[in-house]
Amino acid sequence: MKRWYDSHRVGKFLDIFKTMHKRDRDPLVNHILELIKVDGNALIDATVMEFPLDEIHRRWYDRDPSLWMMFHGLERADKALLDTVAEYLEEKIQITEDTAVLKNHH
C-alpha cells in the first residue's frame, strides 16, 4: 500500500525513525516540529484531535506523541515544507543499507 510520504524524497527518512535510538531521534523530531510550527501555521493544532485513541490499530509512530505530530503535520504540509524537512534530514542523516547514522555524531 502506498503511503502519503512514499512519493516525496522525505519518505526515505521517515521509516528510519522507527529503528533510530530515541536519543538520536528526538533532536531531529523536535527540529522538524519547529519547522512545522513556523512554516505550517496551524497544521498541528488543526489535527491534534485526530490522535488515535484505539491502541490496537495504531501504527508504530502513533505510540509516540512527538512522532505522531511530526507525521501528521508533514502529511498536511505543502511541498515547500516537505522539501525543507528533506534537506534538513539529508544534512543530518546518512542512510546505508536501511540503517541510519547521524552525520557529525561522536
Angle at 63 between CA 60 and CA 68, to 5 degrees: 85
Higher pLDDT, 64 or 1: 64
- Cell numbers that stand for 36 in this block: 512545522
Could you read off the pLDDT of 49-102 as tens digits, one per residue?
A: 565 556 666 777 777 888 888 888 888 888 999 999 999 999 998 877 766 678
Higher pLDDT, 74 or 46: 74
**Cβ contacts of 98 within 8 Å, gap of 6 or more:** 16
Residue 42 has pLDDT above 70, yes or no: no
Domain extent listing, the chain: 4-102
Of 19, 18, 28, 95, which Cα lies nearest the Cα of 36? 28
Could you read off the pLDDT of 3-21 as tens digits, one per residue?
A: 888 889 999 899 889 888 8
